[in-house]
Every structure is written in C-alpha cells, then in structure tokens.
Structure 1
Amino acid sequence: MGKLIKGVSKNARFFICDTKDLVQEAMDIHSCSATGISILGRVLTAAGMMGKDLKSESDSLTIRINGDGPAGTIITTANMNGEVKGYMSNPQVDTEEHDTGQIQIGKAVGNGTMYVIKDMGLKDPFSGLVQLQTGEIGDDLAYYFYTSEQIPSVVALGVKVNQDYKISCAGGFIIQLLPGAENEFIDRLEEKLKAIRPVTELFEGGFDIYRIAKLLYEDMGSDVEGKLIEDYEILEESELSYKCDCSKERYLRGLITLGRKEIEQILEEDGGKMEVECHFCMKKYEFTKEDFDGIDF
C-alpha cells in the first residue's frame, strides 16, 4: 500500500504520496532492474496522484510514454480509488553508471511522446499529447500540465533502490497553481524548490508526507505585519495500491473478436489450448475449445 494526501491553500493545490510498498510490488511482479523500476515507479507514482483528481469511480487515467530509448514503451493506469497498474517493454533496461551508481533515466527513456488519456465515460476519451522534454518523467509531466491543461505545475518524483535491489523509498508530489495565484507565492515557491532536497532524500531523512507538506508551505506567504504564513488544508488522506483488474472473462471477450475460424486454428496449432498473459500482473489464463462452446460469434 501507498499513502497519499491531497490538499489546497489560497494559491495552490497539492498531492503528496509515499509509494515505497506499491513500487516494490511492481518491481517484484515485473522483475525490474534498478533502472527499470526507477522509471516505472516514477510513472506509477504520478499516475496514482493524477488518478485522485478523477471525478467518478468508473473513470480511468492512463499515462503512455513512447520513447526511442532502450526502456521502450511505458504504460500506467489509475483510478480515483487509488488503484494503479503498469508495465514497460523492457523492465530489465540498465543505464546505471556502475562507477557512480547514478541511473540515467533520460537516457533510458530517450526522445518521443507522452500521452495522458482520461476515460470519463464519454464517447471519446480526453487525450493530451506532448513531446518528451527530458525523459525524466517529472519534467515531462510538468510540461504536459502547462501545455495541455494550462496549469503551471511542479512535479517531483523519485525512486531509490538499495544495493540488495529492494526499494528504499519512493514517492513524490505535484503542486499546481490556482488561477490568480499571487506573484509573491510563486516567487517563494520557486526559491523553496531550489533549496529543498530531492524527494527520496527527504524520505531517507525521516520525512513523511505530512512533514513534506509542512516543509513545502513553510515561509510561503506574508500578512500585513510581514509575518510569513500560508495556511493549507488537507482535503483527503487515502491509500494507493497496485491492483490489476484482469479476469478470464475479460480476456475471453477479447479473444472472441478474433472470430471462430482463427480461434480454432490457434487451438489446433497449440495442442488444443491457448494461453494469454496479462501485461500488468503477469497472470496467465488458459483457454480450451470448451471455453468457446455455445458462444455466438
């Protein structure tokens, strides 16, 4: 499970989350390298926060990154209940500099595009598309918010992997300016973000998501006497979890679209059975001729 808080102040709203356990589960499912989980974990963390902004339980949000780097395609999906899932083409990608231990996220992702798709039950889902700016995920999402949704935003994401290939910490925050945000607040926010440590270092230093919220808002406004204040309110405290909603019935509906002739051919070639594997959770489903009996193609 991960933990998330969502809050607001006079000038901005924010999402802050700790996704250590969620990212560890993703790493275990996909057998990721340190580079792979550093990328996938960042996108899962971002999707979890963005999913909390959906309006209905039936809505979903998908982030798809198509880069030309060795990581390949990265896809994550989330909903407002805090359920996220994801996968990447090459979870074993390795761009770690072994002398320094630094992971080159941008090098692994490469150049390409980022899609953000919101399915809200309408005829056509909302889809935003931007060119990747750095491949570092956080910078690219901030660029997406500014260009596609016209919301000036700060996106900080991080994943730290131990030497024993366990997740030491993971999480992030999104701060989005509200319409009419005061220039003083914007200036102070810019200075604050230059001064604070990366989010993984904050977690390693003992900060939790509540202390990070306090840190972000310390010294961020002023009253008529010059005393620095910026009150904020936490609107929601919730959990994030890695959860896949796949099922044999869902895959059966997908296979039916192949048509009876092609299904019978596949079954004959594969010894009377066919197997499909879920990209998100790696669960396998087996189908035989009996599964398709009585179905009107």
Structure 2
Amino acid sequence: MKDQLVKAIACDGHVRIYVCNTTGIINYAQKQHDLWPTASATLGRVLSVASMMGGNLKSDKEKLTITINGGGPIGTVMADAYYGGNVRGFVGEPHVHYQYNDTGKLAVGVAVGTQGYLEVKKDLGLKEEFGGQVALQNGEIGDDFAYYFALSEQTPSVVSVGVLVDTDNTIISSGGLLIQMLPDASEEDIEKVEAVVKTLQPMSDLIKDNVALEEIVKSLFEDAKILETTDIAFTCNCSKERVENAIKLIDKEDLKAMIEEDHGSEVSCQFCNKTYTFSEEELQQILDSKE
C-alpha cells in the first residue's frame, strides 16, 4: 500500500478527518539515520502528525516545523511538513531502544521524556512565523499533539499514531489518524466522535492489515465524505548550493582553518543524512569571494 494522505469530513461538515499511511516514509528515515526501534517509533509518530498537519496548509509557499524536546535520551525530535503532506525529519540520538515491561510496547515516552515542550512554527510566506508551544504531557506524541491542538489552536482533536517495527529494525507499518471538531460542531457531533474513539483500533494494526485509508474513514463515520487522496513522501530540499550558502556565513579564520588544516570539508544534512563534499579549491573560492 502506497504512502498516502486522505482528507475527509463527516457529521455534515462539522468534523474534519485526516488519515495517513507513512510506512515507506519511516522505512526511508530508518535506513538514512540508522534508527533503532524506539527512535523509529518516535520519529514515525511525529512525521505522521506532521504529514496530516501539512495537509491543512493552503499553498506550496507554506511550511510548518515541529520541534519536540522532553529532556529524554532521544534529544530533540524535529520535523518539517510541506503543502500536500510531504515531510522530512530527524532525531538527536537515533540509537535509543526502550520497552515497557508490562506491555512489551516501545517506550516512546521514556525516550522523549516529559520535562520539555512541543513547539509548532508555521511559515505562511509572511514576514513573521506563527505558532505555539505547549508542555509535553507524556512524551507519547499522540496525547501531546491533542493537547497542543486544544490549547494552541482551540481545536478539540483526537490523535492516534502508531508504528510497528520488525526484529530487523525495518518498519512493518506506520500511520496516523487525526479527527478534529470544527467550530460549528454540536453536542451530537461530539458524542459521535466520542463513540468512535471508544472503538478505535491501533492505526499501525489497520495499516499492517492493508485496510485502505478511505475504508478506515468510512468505517468510523457513516456519512464520511472523502475530499482528497494524495501521495506523500519523505522529501528533503537540501542541495550543495544551499550548503554552500551556509558555508559563506562562516567567518574567514574558520574557513582558512578548513582549507589549511582539514584540506576540505564534508557537511551532512541533519534531515536526510546526505553528505556534501567541498574541496580545498572550492573553499578557497568561497574565501576569495568573501575578501
């Protein structure tokens, strides 16, 4: 099943629904960053929410950035989301693996920690970015985003995200569901959503069983109307030109040291782990342009 994002409405347009399959996206991230299981689950959950939030952007000039740091061993988790649902992301420490003793499930909350924040910044192509920051609730990602939507965007939301990781670290399934109450929702609509939540199956299980995303939506709400189905992917806009522009910001003395001591430079993109190499000659040209 392809990585896709489905947008839908229900309850006479009073409820907004997003559902996504991000299995391929997280498999790519796992390979690029050599993620251990709990790191895969953490980044997978964040990228699933990021993709669904990206689906709500209005144009390709808009972007949002999610930053999470709960003081746990995984460090900072960061994700960018673009118009249409494409995403990219990384974790500070990819080699973390914890499980809960009672359930055997991956302990994302332990890896992330709870002594920190979840921050969302939205770049809408204007002079200033917009966004909000909330305290982490349990570090398990789903509840933390539900709290963010309620507090920062005044939108009561249900967030269900899950990742299943195989014994060889590859991703069996990954996906997410976001249900949001719109301002004109009635008490009856709220009751319908509450009833849906009570019977909700884990998203990772539904994706593993190859249940079509549209069918997942229709199984939740009888009057669900599918608005759009979009292919999504892990997309990074890094390039050698962008890295060169960053190197141009380095002061002259540090550039000289890179030439005379290191005899060149290798720069890796945090998001996709691609490496860009600059020779002595290329660094010298950059230094000459500064002088």
Shared fold, TM over 0.5: yes
Q: Which residue of 2 aligns with 1:106?
A: 109
Structure 1 stretches lacking a partner, 5+ long: 219-230
In structure 1, the residue corresponding to 2:232 is in which secondary structure? Answer: strand
Structure 2 stretches lacking a partner, 5+ long: none
Aligned-pair Cα RMSD in Å: 1.6
Q: CA deviation at 1:266?
A: 2.3
Distance 1:124 1:286 in 2: 33
Counterpart of 1:45 in structure 2: which amino acid?
S
Distance 1:258 1:206 in 2: 49
Distance 1:159 1:208 in 2: 17
In structure 2, the residue corresponding to 1:241 is in which secondary structure? Answer: coil
Q: Which residue of 2 aligns with 1:15?
A: 18
- Identity among equivalent positions (%) equals 41
Listed as ranges, the matches of 1:108-123 within 5 Å are 108-111=111-114, 112-123=116-127
Counterpart of 2:7 in structure 1: which amino acid?
K
Distance 1:60 1:234 in 2: 24
Counterpart of 1:241 in structure 2: which amino acid?
A
In structure 1, the residue corresponding to 2:111 is in which secondary structure? Answer: helix
Q: Which residue of 2 aligns with 1:201?
A: 205
Counterpart of 1:260 in structure 2: which amino acid?
K
In structure 1, the residue corresponding to 2:93 is in which secondary structure? Answer: coil
Distance 1:265 1:142 in 2: 48
Distance 1:269 1:208, change over 3 A: same
Q: Which residue of 1 aligns with 2:240?
A: 248
Distance 2:220 2:184 in 1: 19
Distance 1:196 1:81, change over 3 A: closer
Distance 1:25 1:12 in 2: 32
Distance 1:119 1:196, change over 3 A: same
CA contact (8 A) 2:266 2:277 kept: yes
Distance 1:269 1:254 in 2: 20
Q: CA deviation at 1:284?
A: 1.0
Distance 2:188 2:70 in 1: 38
Distance 1:98 1:134 in 2: 17
Q: Which residue of 2 aligns with 1:31?
A: 34
Q: Which residue of 1 aligns with 2:68?
A: 65
Listed as ranges, the matches of 1:178-217 within 5 Å are 178-217=182-221
CA contact (8 A) 2:50 2:85 kept: no
TM superposition score normalised by structure 1: 0.91
Distance 2:24 2:241 in 1: 29
Counterpart of 2:178 in structure 1: which amino acid?
I
Counterpart of 1:35 in structure 2: which amino acid?
T
Q: CA deviation at 1:124?
A: 1.2
TM superposition score normalised by structure 2: 0.93
Deviations 1:67-118 (A, max 9, x none): 1111110001010133211100111111124785321111111021011011
Q: How many residues align?
A: 284
In structure 1, the residue corresponding to 2:266 is in which secondary structure? Answer: strand
Listed as ranges, the matches of 1:1-297 within 5 Å are 2-9=3-10, 10=12, 11-97=14-100, 101-111=104-114, 112-218=116-222, 231-270=223-262, 272-292=263-283, 293=285, 294-296=288-290
Which 4+ residue blocks in structure 1 deviate beyond 6 angstroms?
none
